[in-house]
Structure 1
């Protein structure tokens, strides 16, 4: 017999207490309520939607050791920190390794109900990226290759059709035809890790590219003042841009300026987290980055240089980072991590009747570097 349940917390837009009611994993209503201790209530919001997750909690979506069990463990760890929807992200590797990652993700969804719900799509970042240092980021140069529709079809077969987002650099001659065909198939194309010219970027957008992947990162250390590929993407109103707001990838002034240029409606946050996210501080050796150091504040750096070696904080820290670094309200920061990325899914990141009851209760105050999660509900089931 169905039983209606409820969750009460302060609404981020006005601080007033609201009750979310849900039955059989779906939201029934969101209504204001009276509460004797408004200020003592935690905040309530839709669960966070992360479109770029390479790994978390010691578990990787890539590499030689990827398994369905590891993917399930990654999803469980992400759920505990408020990420109720994610796109596991498969990065540049050999064709065989990328297929192995896609199959592990697919098998995890088949084996585990939580993974089946949380994994709402797959993001393939590469291998059609810039081969230049800086722009390539940590993607291995040996496996950079041009777009190939036959390879995409092998990916999609391994993924049971779940590939929703593909990141590429539009400098390849094959780009326009490839972007057009993926767009016709309902797959979103994002621009990232690029050294493309303005003309090549514009041609990709005209063909259907609509997103930019972690803009401002995966870029050369030094660029011409103008023109350059950052200005082109910021000025292109058809592009919706992802940003990493962990306090390490983009300085406050850069993040603020980029968000103002795109506007909140054309922006969203990603964690871009690696397997070391959520792990204790220390020195680690990784298959891609080699020796890295994870600091207590979540900075993951190359042990031998001043460069970053990936991201190591969950999306909850990105929301807090956007509030602190860019001066956003809590409601605005949450929008960038819920409703905005949720547009790439059917019904995630929103509290509306009929949507999945994916909810978080959390505390957040001035100076907090992350949302302090108290309770997570995924499809109506408590997850802690």
Structure 2
């Protein structure tokens, strides 16, 4: 199928090309030229962007749930519903994210995601311009159960434990190789060995729900940790005498910082600090969404615990924040309007940066010749107008 997207402001990794056309052939981006240069008669389908922005499809690497469903439900219906919600909000690929839970429930969730991924990959190659196909499940993000109790956040304390390489080996096998990220607290006994093991398996290690001090954090980075889970949240805070893991992450160029840009988890001033420290290339916008995303205020669950959502804030009964109701298009909007980041840089934080972090940037994450035609058309307010997905 030959597709032309015309009259667009095309967001590339380097600039915004205003009034350009974008051609897609065999599910890949083939040409990007000024509007009117390409002959429309050469194409099977033409989409007029009408002067709106075209960006790469958003990639959410940390999302638990949405629309009333959760990864931990362990059902095809749950993952499919989540994937269909994501595509409507511009997310063309995501990592389903688990919670600290019983071994039995974790294994069920992992096997279910592996089965869903297998079904997606087994379908014929095509290009969907209707927005009816679900977003692609790119893999699994295991958030827990290897966390510090003092920084557990909304993770269930009942199932917290020290890192276990034997258990991790079983999880990886059950996932059929789909585990992409494992979050753990690097100060726990056995954590450094687990980090080395996971890196040997090609798996990204993120430091999360951790009370690690500055020196321990630096050691973990040397061992192979390349990411921190929702920076400043679920981790030792920064002070001038003990910068902690948050301080260590901000000054280490090897480390990506996940960020929940909703002005609830982080004050805009804190977000500006992260941008000043990490620049445009080492921030990953995440939703960390729970099942209330896309739904109204009310009572929900996360990791088996009751969550009350009020005014888009999701909290446990004791007031602890319990994920978010954020979507990535809103996170990008917030980065532009709350933090003052350029649109191109904010888009990068939700596309190319997560793609690079999990090692898929040769195929996805930016509008460049030869890459997958995962595209989003949106207006000035980041309302999603059209999604194009390479399947």
TM-score scaled to structure 2, two decimals? 0.87
- Cα deviation for residue 110 of structure 1 reads 2.8
Query: Given the alignment of the two structures, is residue 11 of structure 1 paired with residue 10 of structure 2, yes or no?
Result: yes
8 Å Cα contact 1:191/1:213 also seen in 2? yes
8 Å Cα contact 1:123/1:165 also seen in 2? yes
TM-score scaled to structure 1, two decimals? 0.88
Corresponding position of 2:208 = 192
8 Å Cα contact 1:244/1:250 also seen in 2? yes
Give CA deviations for 1:306-344 in whole Å, capped at 9, x if unaligned. Answer: 542221111111111111121001111000001111112
- Cα deviation for residue 238 of structure 1 reads 1.7
Corresponding position of 1:229 = 245
- Counterpart CA distance in 1 for 2:323 and 2:107 is 22
Corresponding position of 2:185 = 169
* Residue number among 296, 313, 334 corresponding to 1:299 in the alignment: 313
8 Å Cα contact 1:42/1:361 also seen in 2? yes
Q: Which stretches of structure 1, 4 residues or longer, exceed 6 Å deviation after superposition?
A: none
- Counterpart CA distance in 2 for 1:104 and 1:267 is 30
* Residue number among 29, 44, 51 corresponding to 2:61 in the alignment: 51
Corresponding position of 2:386 = 375
8 Å Cα contact 2:154/2:320 also seen in 1? no
* Residue number among 235, 260, 267 corresponding to 1:251 in the alignment: 267
Corresponding position of 1:320 = 333
The alignment partner of 2:323 has SS state of strand
Give CA deviations for 1:217-259 in whole Å, capped at 9, x if unaligned. Answer: 1236x76443122112212222111111122211110000011
Corresponding position of 1:241 = 257
Corresponding position of 1:139 = 155
8 Å Cα contact 1:138/1:288 also seen in 2? no
Corresponding position of 2:88 = 80
User: How many correspondences in the alignment?
Assistant: 362
Contiguous gaps of at least 5 residues in structure 2: 38-47, 124-132
- Cα deviation for residue 34 of structure 1 reads 4.5
Give CA deviations for 1:145-166 in whole Å, capped at 9, x if unaligned. Answer: 1111111111111111011111
Corresponding position of 1:66 = 74
- Counterpart CA distance in 2 for 1:265 and 1:250 is 19
- Counterpart CA distance in 2 for 1:150 and 1:165 is 17
- Counterpart CA distance in 2 for 1:241 and 1:53 is 15
8 Å Cα contact 1:270/1:337 also seen in 2? yes
Query: Given the alignment of the two structures, is residue 341 of structure 1 paired with residue 349 of structure 2, yes or no?
Result: no
Query: Given the alignment of the two structures, is residue 151 of structure 1 paired with residue 167 of structure 2, yes or no?
Result: yes
- Counterpart CA distance in 2 for 1:340 and 1:254 is 20
- Counterpart CA distance in 2 for 1:287 and 1:200 is 28
Give CA deviations for 1:53-100 in whole Å, capped at 9, x if unaligned. Answer: 1011111001xx330121111111111110001011112111111111
8 Å Cα contact 1:286/1:292 also seen in 2? no
Corresponding position of 1:160 = 176
- Counterpart CA distance in 2 for 1:189 and 1:241 is 12
The alignment partner of 1:142 has SS state of helix
- Counterpart CA distance in 2 for 1:287 and 1:74 is 16
Structure 1 residues 172 and 307, CA, compared in 2 at 3 Å: closer, same or farther? closer
